[in-house]
Amino acid sequence: MEKTEHSRRFGPVDMDQMRLLASLPPGRRIRAMLHTADFVRGLIRGRLRRLHPDATEQELGLMLLKELERVNRTQGRP
């Protein structure tokens, strides 16, 4: 199997997890997605806090928004 950019960045797909998510009703799938997005934002905020320990909450929020915007640009989103 040829390695793509995504296969180098991410591990193999967990098919059991994919089946579990596919079996959920739409509302529960959306809830799982929102919880995951909150978790990722928390990870980014924690990294930013470690890099900038003296930053205010407002400054961290702005850094988080800039980081998310950078990610959106690199993934080809409008």
Model confidence over 6-64: pLDDT tens digits?
555 678 888 998 999 999 999 999 999 999 999 999 999 999 999 999 999 999 999 99
Residues 6 or more apart in contact with residue 48 via CB below 8 angstroms:
55, 60, 63, 64, 67
Give a yes or no: residue 24 inside a domain: no
For the full predicted model, state whether its pTM sits above 0.75.
no
Question: How many independent structural domains does the chain possess?
Answer: 1
CA angle 71, 39, 68 (to 5 degrees): 20
Q: Does 1 have pLDDT greater than 70?
A: no
Give a yes or no: residue 58 inside a domain: yes
Give a yes or no: residue 13 inside a domain: no
- pLDDT band at 73, cuts 50/70/90? confident
Give a yes or no: residue 31 inside a domain: no
